[in-house]
Structure 1
């Protein structure tokens, strides 16, 4: 039955008292979602692109923060053994302190001309070279989240008992979490730390510094993205661990404390949004710059997915993102920072470029997933629309988009965008099928 005819039929049932107004509304929306052929087109294109694992045409490496966002789609088209091996390589590069690299690449493909000292090698993976942007605090958490997705989809719990250099994957996961507790922990706030970056980004603001590596100029800070990712990772670890597993720490207690402290120190109830940063050794920005007025979309998306906000708070966050996006001609709720940092405050990245106000479906799509999780289906479908349209317009998946012109920028064949759109489409269709 076509959506218009179905709506008329449902309206008749409503008038007869057989259905509630909300049920009629839900059924009409479900019919519209299920009839949207764009979802089929983008799903098929996403799955074709996910035949590979590198982040995109500009990136030869397999990055864990990217793989974590398209592993669900990868498992639809690849044998689980292949995906399992790719995940295990990250543990083969794990340092003794527990930290996890960003990504790895075959040595013969690695571009060592720009900074050969940044490459990391392991006797357990002699054919590969790895790297790590040390300003980030999401490599460990991204890998743990990816492992949980792998286990949930495949049912393969044996990966947790797999031994790498004498330690099981379960032990190595706990090593990774302990690294964050030891090397990236603020006892004062009970939260994890990292370098000052924009939202989920991996570039520091200081001019003349190596933007992606910790150095003497680094300003240490606390943000919601890193902590929401850690909160999710701990819960993912707890969800898949074998019965009776003895852990070195009480991770349930740590997770509860983390949630409490995120809410206490980062959530601003009067403003209905998250504070961009808490600074530990001084701010890199001028005293008259009001950073607390900025809106971070990516950290907000991860906080919602982590279960850190109530439905009422989610509605407020969403309204702010929609209103902010409406101020730029081609922006969606995936615009990284609202508004962008002025160049004088962030010399390493100009306004409207890359992470400084670029529009990233990679995180906008995750916000859509958060809306679906809390039953904001109409909002999710409406706000997904411009993301779908630009994929169709430019006939591909791109790293980010310029909000003033709408032009695609950065890497082409960006698998992160394909992955989050695929997951968002899956969430919408699941709801629609249950409410048709």
Structure 2
């Protein structure tokens, strides 16, 4: 087996170095004349105009979702409205620097036994928030969302705006420090979370599974650590004075991610490295599972070479064919067996356990475009845009039979699809 540390070092050197090939006239014409692209873009703008909650099935504004449609929202909302949502997350920031998952008007926060615990802060008089703390992407999602807002609008003054006793830039660093102080494995040099399915926020224990409890099994995964790398890259770009501190940390994360989570022999990411033992049966080979979403985010983090990206794409396409799913938004393949998650919605090919999510599938498309795989990006995007037309909406996820389910106005899907189409259109313009 090749030295994994060398792979990590190579990955850092390869960050953002994909070279763009020429676009064929045939592909150019296909992109220009594709009717589903036009429909999706128009529909996406209609959907995003109606609010900031994740979709019609959610009352809250979630940071992991807002991060994926804030750029689209910038097309239809005044900048200050976009900023205000970001401000709310910072006003509700915990006294240890942590960022909440979502916020909701205090008047609509219904406390119930076994339900959400709501958090309040004197800086925020209108909203309160909650945190699905099994996941470790809230802090990184907010930093990424601020980056997207600033780069989209040019509003760098926002970074110097004071919220309480700290500027936005200082609060971003504080959020990153939370991960080092409270979610850090000294043994591996990576951040940890509860054991969930790929990028999901439902752990294997408990009928609901969104809160850390006495049965939680802690582990390292690619999604959380890749999100951290992206957030640090983003922060260092818009807050250059933070680079001296965070660049060595980013470099170490990249090295350690490839050292501990990349399976060189099988050209894939290991689902979990456990800190206190696996929750699954001893005879279960979890490494047979291929995580689509985490791999997409790892590509965005600059961890894989063009050759590794092509191998990853081929594996995803093969997984879609083997499962019968509709698109490479397939969360994973194969899914975890029946009963491995107590949450009843996490049956094989259900919800985050093998559901087909455009929300992540279109992010794969974006990365294919970034790395010059234009033809492949176009081909793999079509199943996602065509089902938006067919179902007249942006559904949260699709079954293995390509049937829509969940929220029908899922703004995250609208945001990432719109951006993927825009990126293809920009390629042929250039």
Q: CA deviation at 1:433?
A: 1.6
1:282 corresponds to which residue? 277
2:413 corresponds to which residue? 417
Extract unaligned runs of 5+ from structure 1.
Answer: 1-21
1:273 corresponds to which residue? 268
CA distance in 1 between partners of 2:157 and 2:220 (Å): 35
Q: Determine if contact 1:286/1:345 at 8 Å carries over to the other structure.
A: no
Q: Under a length normalisation based on structure 2, what TM-score does the superposition of the two structures give?
A: 0.92
Q: CA deviation at 1:114?
A: 5.5
If you compute each CA radius of gyration, which structure gives the higher value, 1 or 2?
1
CA distance in 2 between partners of 1:55 and 1:126 (Å): 22
CA distance in 1 between partners of 2:387 and 2:115 (Å): 37
Q: Deviations over 1:215-253 (max 9, x none)?
A: 1111000000000000000010100015xx367x72000
- Alignment CA distance shift 1:151-1:274 (3 Å): same
- Alignment CA distance shift 1:73-1:295 (3 Å): same
Extract unaligned runs of 5+ from structure 2.
Answer: 1-20
Structure 1 stretch displaced more, 105-114 or 220-229: 105-114
1:37 corresponds to which residue? 35
CA distance in 2 between partners of 1:111 and 1:61 (Å): 12
CA distance in 1 between partners of 2:410 and 2:254 (Å): 32
1:430 corresponds to which residue? 426
CA distance in 1 between partners of 2:260 and 2:285 (Å): 17
Q: CA deviation at 1:115?
A: 4.3
CA distance in 1 between partners of 2:31 and 2:230 (Å): 29
CA distance in 2 between partners of 1:391 and 1:160 (Å): 36
2:352 corresponds to which residue? 355
The within-5 A match list for 1:228-267 is: 228-241=226-239, 245=241, 250-267=245-262
Q: Determine if contact 2:116/2:130 at 8 Å carries over to the other structure.
A: no
2:150 counterpart of 1:168: no
2:338 counterpart of 1:343: yes
1:398 is paired with a residue of what secondary structure? coil
1:205 corresponds to which residue? 204
1:128 corresponds to which residue? 127
Q: Determine if contact 2:88/2:127 at 8 Å carries over to the other structure.
A: no
The within-5 A match list for 1:25-174 is: 26-51=24-49, 52-113=51-112, 115=114, 118-174=117-173
Higher relative contact order structure (alpha carbons within 8 Å, sequence separation ≥ 6):
2
Q: Determine if contact 2:236/2:242 at 8 Å carries over to the other structure.
A: no
Q: Deviations over 1:61-94 (max 9, x none)?
A: 1100000000110001111111011111100000
Q: CA deviation at 1:346?
A: 2.5
Q: Deviations over 1:283-329 (max 9, x none)?
A: 00011100001000110000011111000000000000000001233
Q: CA deviation at 1:210?
A: 4.7
1:372 corresponds to which residue? 369
Q: CA deviation at 1:128?
A: 1.3
2:176 counterpart of 1:181: no
- Alignment CA distance shift 1:59-1:401 (3 Å): same
2:9 corresponds to which residue? none
1:388 corresponds to which residue? 385
Q: Under a length normalisation based on structure 1, what TM-score does the superposition of the two structures give?
A: 0.91
CA distance in 1 between partners of 2:359 and 2:186 (Å): 32
1:105 is paired with a residue of what secondary structure? strand
Structure 1 stretch displaced more, 264-273 or 136-145: 264-273
- Number of residues paired by the alignment? 407
RMSD, aligned CA: 1.4
Q: CA deviation at 1:374?
A: 0.2
